[in-house]
Each structure stands twice: as C-alpha cells, then as structure tokens.
C-alpha cells in the first residue's frame, strides 16, 4: 500500500448508457441504416404501396412519401436518426426523391459492409465514397439537360415525373397544372435573385366535400369562414379591409377582480357595461368605413 490518495471515479456518461466501439459499432450503424431503408423500400417504383400511419394526434395518414413516413417514426439509434435527417434535408433542398435517397444510402452502406468485416479501415472506405461521388457528379454533368424555366412544356415534364409515383398521379394534368400555377403565383423575383418559398407563401386549405376537379389556385388570402348574419354580403368587390391585432371584446382585469352582485339588476348592469365597451370599439372601427374586419384575437358574442 503506497499511501497515495485515491480519488473517486468520475462518471461522464449515465449509468445506463450503452457504448459500442470499433467494428461492432460500424456494423451496428450499417444495420440501423438498412432497417430504415427497408421501411420505405416498398413505397418506391410503379408498384409502390401506401403506408398507413397513426400520427401523434390520433389521425390516420396514408402516404408513400419517404419524408412523410420517416418523420412519424420515433427511433433511438443515432445512425437511424441520421438517415431520417437525410430524408428531411432532401425534402427541403430538392422537394422530391426522399424515398430514393434513403434506399440509395442503405444500399451504399450495405456495399461497404463486406469490406468492414474483412478489416478494411473506415477511412479507406470513406475515401472511396468521395471518389465515387466525384465520378457520379461527372456523369450527372454529362447526362444533365438544361431546363428553360419559361418553357411550360419542360416544367410540366419535370412536375409530372415528380408525382408519377404519388397517389395523386391518377388525376394527371390537373394536379400538375395546380402545382405549376401555385409556384408561379408565389414566385418573387428581384433582379437576378429568384425566391420561391412555397412553405411561407402557399397554403393548402382542405374543405370537406366536393370533387378534386373543384380545386383552384387563388391569388390572394383565403379564410375558411362562413357568414354569421343573414345580412352579411357574400361578394364584395374592392373592399376596404381592417386588420387588427387586438381582440374585439371587453378587456378583462389584469389582476383578480371580484364582482359582488346583490340582485338581478346588478348582473344586468355588468352585462350592459361589457356591451358598452364592445360598442365603443365597434364605433371606432366604423369611423374608417370598412367592408371586412379581420382580427387574430377573440371576438365578442355581443
């Protein structure tokens, strides 16, 4: 016994943390990636099938879009999470090929499995991947065709190829025309800079009933609301619109407020005071003679 002071071990990881190293971890990553690829493999191609998913809200989703399927899957393996992130990045950057990129990544990793088992160092495999990527980019440059965005026929071919494996392809040109018109509606161009932000400027409003042929692209803003009074106009041309960021109702007390009512008259007076507050707000709004009033807050029943 040397008498040296012994120190307690420092715990960096949690007690139940599982850690894998070396060849075992590499093969585990490949198996996890292959498992994710197998989930969406049957949704690719002309004989693809739809997946029925149960979302967190309890609703049923039927789709064969790779990103839509994988974002509903809860995984714990880091390699599987990386595959799902790959699908999300493909969807944001390109908008198509979310299933293909997952299946391709799974096959590429599977091709490297035999070399890992033979003892080839992972850095050698990664360098081979980079060389393959360079060759693939060269071939893509040779096979690539320049597209004129002003040519309606070229754009139509591209969009039709994107929805060819989707459930909506049975409606053919109808969906293609809607998609092209929607993008042309939200495109923003300043000089040589072109911005197409469909997630910010385009919205799909779903209304029960009707046919798919009833779908249209509106150049404007849509609110799925019905009239609340019989005298409200159904059609207003060139309206004066008021946008409010405050509620159209009486303001509640910021601190705890108690009302002591001794009779029915007291209750009526309280209701009348609320109506007076709402009436004053309405009178101020009517001074600008609006046709439509839009507020993001609550509206009083008075």
Structure confidence by residue, pLDDT tens digits, 199-218: 788 888 888 888 888 888 98
pLDDT at 13: 62
Task: Taking residues 165-172, report their average pLDDT.
Answer: 72
pLDDT band at 72 (very low <50, low <70, confident <90, very high): confident
Cα–Cα distance between 69 and 200 in angstroms, integer? 22
- Number of residues that this document lists for the chain: 302
216 versus 149: the higher-pLDDT residue is 216
Query: Is the predicted pLDDT of residue 48 greater than 80, yes or no?
Result: no
For 87-136, how does the pLDDT look when each residue is reduced to its tens digit (9 = 90+)? Answer: 888 888 887 888 889 999 999 988 888 888 888 888 999 999 999 999 99
Cα–Cα distance between 167 and 130 in angstroms, integer? 36
Q: What is the DSSP letter of 293?
A: E
Residue tagged 């009707």 (tokens) = 210
**Helix, strand, coil shares, percent, the chain, to 5:** 45, 10, 45
Query: Is the predicted pLDDT of residue 10 greater than 60, yes or no?
Result: yes
Beta strands at 193-195 and 188-190: parallel, antiparallel or unpaired:
antiparallel
For 248-284, how does the pLDDT look when each residue is reduced to its tens digit (9 = 90+)? Answer: 777 766 667 777 778 888 788 877 888 888 888 888 8
Q: Would the pTM of this model clear 0.85, i.e. be above it?
A: no
Backbone phi and psi for residue 200, each to the nearest 5 degrees, phi listed first = -95, -40
Query: Is the predicted pLDDT of residue 140 greater than 60, yes or no?
Result: yes
Task: Taking residues 143-168, report their average pLDDT.
Answer: 81
For 12-31, how does the pLDDT look when each residue is reduced to its tens digit (9 = 90+)? Answer: 666 666 666 677 788 888 88
Query: Is the predicted pLDDT of residue 137 greater than 90, yes or no?
Result: yes
The rounded mean pLDDT for the chain is 82
pLDDT at 135: 94
Half-sphere exposure in the Cβ direction for 179 (13 Å, CA): 19
Element (H, E) at 111: helix 98-117
Query: Could you tell me if 81 and 88 are in contact, meaning their C-beta atoms sit under 8 angstroms apart?
Result: no
Number of Cβ atoms within 10 Å of the Cβ of 249: 17
Strands (E), the chain: 51-54, 60-63, 188-190, 193-195, 241-244, 292-295
Which tokens is 80 given?
Answer: 């599987």
- The percentage of the chain sitting over the pLDDT mark of 70, rounded to a whole number, equals 90
Task: Taking residues 156-169, report their average pLDDT.
Answer: 77
User: Which residues, 6+ apart, have CB-to-CB distance to 252 below 8 Å?
Assistant: none
Cα–Cα distance between 50 and 166 in angstroms, integer? 9
What separation, in Å, do the N-terminal and C-terminal C-alpha atoms of the chain show? 88
pLDDT band at 6 (very low <50, low <70, confident <90, very high): low
- The percentage of the chain sitting over the pLDDT mark of 90, rounded to a whole number, equals 8
């Amino acid at each position: 016994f040397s008498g040296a002071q012994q120190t307690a071990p420092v715990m960096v990881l949690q007690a139940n943390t599982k850690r894998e190293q070396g060849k075992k971890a590499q093969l585990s990553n490949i198996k996890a990636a292959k498992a994710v690829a197998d989930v969406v493999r049957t949704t690719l191609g002309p004989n693809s099938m739809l997946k029925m998913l149960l979302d967190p809200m309890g609703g049923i989703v039927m789709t064969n879009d790779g990103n839509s399927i994988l974002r509903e899957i809860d995984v714990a393996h880091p390699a599987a999470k990386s595959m799902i992130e790959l699908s999300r990045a493909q969807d944001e950057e390109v908008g198509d090929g979310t299933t293909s990129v997952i299946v391709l990544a799974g096959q590429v990793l599977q091709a490297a499995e035999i070399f890992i088992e033979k003892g080839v160092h992972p850095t050698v495999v990664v360098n081979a991947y980079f060389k393959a990527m360079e060759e693939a980019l060269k071939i893509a440059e040779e096979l690539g065709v320049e597209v004129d965005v002003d040519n309606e026929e070229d754009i139509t071919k591209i969009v039709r190829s994107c929805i060819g494996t989707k459930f909506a392809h049975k409606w053919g040109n109808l969906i293609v025309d809607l998609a092209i018109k929607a993008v042309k509606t939200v495109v923003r161009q300043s000089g040589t800079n072109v911005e197409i932000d469909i997630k910010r400027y385009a919205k799909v409003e779903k209304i029960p009933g009707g046919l798919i042929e009833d779908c249209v692209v509106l150049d404007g803003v849509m609110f799925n609301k019905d009239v609340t009074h019989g005298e409200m106009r159904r059609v207003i041309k060139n309206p004066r619109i008021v946008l409010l960021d405050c509620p159209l109702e009486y303001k509640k007390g910021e601190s705890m407020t108690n009302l002591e009512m001794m009779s029915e008259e007291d209750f009526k007076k309280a209701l009348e005071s609320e109506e007076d507050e709402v009436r004053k707000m309405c009178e101020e709004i009517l001074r600008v003679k609006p046709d439509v009033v839009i507020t993001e807050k609550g509206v009083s029943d008075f």
